[in-house]
Amino acid sequence: MNPLLQDFNTKYNTAPFSKIKNKHFKTAFEKAIVLAKAEIDTIVNNKEEPTFQNTLEALEFSGEKLDRISSIFFNLNSAETNDEIQKIAQEISPLLTEFSNDIILNKKLFQKIKTIFNIKDDLDLNDEQQMLLQKKYKSFVRNGANLNEKDKTKLREIDKKLAKLSLQFGENILAETNTYQLLLTNKNQLKGLPEGAIEAAKITAKENNKKGWLITLDYPSYIPFMTYADDRNLREQLAKAFGARGFLKNKQDNQLAVLQIVKLRHRRANLLGYKTHAHFVLEERMAENPKKVKQFLNEILIKAKPAGQKDFEKVEKVAKNDGIKTLQKWDGAYYSEKLKKELFDLDDEQLKPYFKLENVINGVFTIANKLYDLKFEEIFTIDKYHDEVKTYKVTGKNSKFIAVFYADFFPRKGKRNGAWMTSYKSQWKKDEENSRPHISIVCNFTKPTETKPSLLTFNEVTTLFHEFGHALHGMLANTIYPSLSGTSVYWDFVELPSQIFENWCYEKDALNLFAKHYKTNKIIPMELVQKIKDSSNFLEGIATLRQLSFGLLDMAWHSGDSPETIKSVKAFEIEAFAGTQLFPDVVENCMSTAFSHIFQGGYSSGYYSYKWAEVLDADAFEAFKENGIFDKETATKFKENVLSKGGTEKPMDLYKRFRGKEPNTDALLKRAGLLK
């Protein structure tokens, strides 16, 4: 019996992970596709006049089993993968692409939707129904419903190739990250490293049956080494290995994949009547078009560049005092940390004892409770995909069930780098039931050691708050339709809930709730809180230039007229980085070949959205600052107009309803110290 094809019959209808074996997936996908196709056929063959209910709503709630199987499988492929799962992913991705094209390119189905769309003004539809109709109609048109048969076939071929290429891109990066190991056998090579990082390296070596200390490219290993290790040659070696992922002219080389993805995206956009891939993507974003995005990025660049150069000179000066003639990329974090210590008498090692992971989690929960009346209770009756995963029942006022929350915090072999929020099940309303979501956050934080619990760097603390902000967007969803629920919003709006939540990390009243010394339980001293605040804009010029460089690189790849003529990934990248570059180029390294956000994730032509959302979040947090960071009225307004609404209305309308006005870039520049 295949558990994926049965009703789950679990508490809260959660995924029965312990019963699911790899062998179940392919069969489950094949059968679920057949079921979903039958549901589509029922809609298409309905002899009655097309109505909103028998067409749009029926389509929206079709393929539910397939959606659940897909979310389980692809989440595992990111958080707990292995060779077998990756092989299955390669086999089923074309099937799923084919299926979604079968729907989008179904003439009769589109005709029914078009009929309803043409009489929409005569129908008594509410805002959410109108949005669903508009989005469905547009998604058909934007994905080829109006193409002739010959072009539809071309589109199918392009989509199949793109699905395989982006999977391959991600697998290559995971393989390169997992393969590289820097084994140190001489204690002198660890000079400068904090005790916790040394202990973690010893544990990693032991886990890999090696003697000594093992440094890997996983962030909790890589970042401390780059920040603290005195041995410059080893820092160089590690930085070059990290920067060369996908660029080693080996089996995992991603250069060809990058060029193919970019060309195929461009051809696809042209086929659909758009000038470039960026024009296609941005039509469905707050930013609207590439010109506006470039103007936005360059406007901030003009203000940030002088600050970035000044910051760079400050770090350079510290390095020169240490006898370094040219500041290189592998010196950046190391000398920035020394400068930070010099200016603020502050470093991560001073802060980490106050950020025990369990305390930070409780802090996040307490803040969510103060703002949105949410309670989190760890429960042990829910199946999980790995022992390390924690599971919580989330309730609201009057113990009303809100969501299931999964949290997965530490690096593992089968988990990709970075941090993300995802869902195993969306929220929706049907047959008088408000079906609640299953939300997950996945991170790669510093593991506990034999002598210490997991103590987070301040950067890891803000990462946890960031992902939890996304999780709140998913958990507090309250819409009728799953495709408009939670984080299903315009891409440049999706980072607002995550980025605004980071602001609480810098507030004394919030830190007092959870920043307690792991040994003494003493609350973080006021002077350290002040130092966190004072240093919050430390090297903000460099950080801003870095973010802008990624956004501009993304736009360069996707808004150019003729990607067909690009021959060298590296040469193209150097040109795109020209206006933002501070450090000398490293010949052996390439950013694009490991730029998973745009070549594997969904951020192509959308990386600018981090900065865009920063403008929104800086402006939105001003409302909390004006009224008090735990002000119930402001929080309720934010919850009702942003967090619960998903994609049911235009983002700017939702934002203005919360804030009373459009956002202003000055709030961001002021907060970043780039505007006096």
Could you give the count of Cα atoms lying within 13 Å of 157 in the half-sphere of its Cβ?
A: 8
CATH number attached to the domain at 3-146 = 1.20.1050.40
The domain locations on the chain are 3-146, 180-243
387: CB partners within 8 A, 6+ apart: none
3-state secondary structure 94-107: HHHHHHHHHHHCCH
Q: Is the pLDDT of residue 560 over 70?
A: yes
Q: Which residue has 């939702």 as its token pair?
A: 654
Among residues 21, 48, 33, 148, which one has the least CA distance to residue 94? 33
Among residues 377, 372, 376, which one has the least CA distance to residue 397? 372
The model's pLDDT over 326-383, given as tens digits with 9 standing for 90+, comes to 999 999 999 999 999 999 998 888 999 999 999 999 999 999 999 999 999 999 999 9
Strand, coil or helix: what is 532?
helix
Q: Which two tokens stand for residue 88?
A: 């299955």
For CA atoms 514, 515, 519, 521, give the dihedral sign.
negative
Helix, strand, coil % in the chain, rounded to nearest 5: 60, 5, 30
The model's pLDDT over 409-448, given as tens digits with 9 standing for 90+, comes to 999 989 988 999 999 999 999 999 999 999 999 999 989 9
The model's pLDDT over 173-219, given as tens digits with 9 standing for 90+, comes to 999 999 999 999 999 999 999 999 999 999 999 999 999 999 999 99
First-to-last C-alpha distance (Å) of the chain: 66
Give me the percent of the chain exceeding a pLDDT of 70: 100
What's the rounded Cα separation, in Å, for the pair 594 and 575? 18
Cα 415 to Cα 252, 303, 410, 466, 556, distances in angstroms: 17, 38, 9, 19, 30
Mean pLDDT for the chain?
Answer: 95
What's the rounded Cα separation, in Å, for the pair 266 and 77? 27
The model's pLDDT over 223-239, given as tens digits with 9 standing for 90+, comes to 999 999 999 999 999 99
3-state secondary structure 214-256: EECCCHHHHHHHHHHCCCHHHHHHHHHHHHCCCCCCCCCCCHH
Distance of alpha carbon 431 from its chain centroid, rounded? Answer: 33
> What is the per-residue pLDDT for 670?
83
> What is the per-residue pLDDT for 492?
87
Q: Is the pLDDT of residue 601 over 90?
A: no
More confident call, 76 vs 668: 76
> What is the per-residue pLDDT for 627?
96
Q: Which residue has 């048109």 as its token pair?
A: 141
Would you say the pTM of this structure is higher than 0.75? yes
> What is the per-residue pLDDT for 421?
97
> What is the per-residue pLDDT for 417?
87
The model's pLDDT over 302-330, given as tens digits with 9 standing for 90+, comes to 989 999 999 999 999 999 999 999 999 99
Query: What is the rounded average pLDDT of the residues 562-575?
Result: 96
Q: Is the pLDDT of residue 252 over 80?
A: yes
What's the rounded Cα separation, in Å, for the pair 615 and 296? 11
Among residues 254, 190, 252, 195, which one has the least CA distance to residue 225? 190
> What is the per-residue pLDDT for 664?
81
Q: Helices 290-321 and 609-627, interaxial angle, to 10°? A: 80
* Residues 354, 541 contacting (CB under 8 angstroms): no
> What is the per-residue pLDDT for 676?
64
The model's pLDDT over 125-165, given as tens digits with 9 standing for 90+, comes to 999 999 999 999 999 999 899 999 999 999 999 999 999 99
Give me the percent of the chain exceeding a pLDDT of 90: 93
> What is the per-residue pLDDT for 93?
93
The model's pLDDT over 80-94, given as tens digits with 9 standing for 90+, comes to 999 999 999 999 999
Which of these is catalytic: 467, 495, 502, 507? 467
Among residues 402, 438, 620, 403, which one has the least CA distance to residue 68? 438
> What is the per-residue pLDDT for 499?
95
- Quick one: pLDDT band at residue 450, thresholds 50, 70, 90? confident
- Quick one: pLDDT band at residue 14, thresholds 50, 70, 90? very high
Task: Classify strands 213-215 and 390-395 as parallel, antiparallel or unpaired.
Answer: unpaired
Amino acid at 183: L
Please say if 98 is a catalytic residue.
no
* Residues 242, 197 contacting (CB under 8 angstroms): no
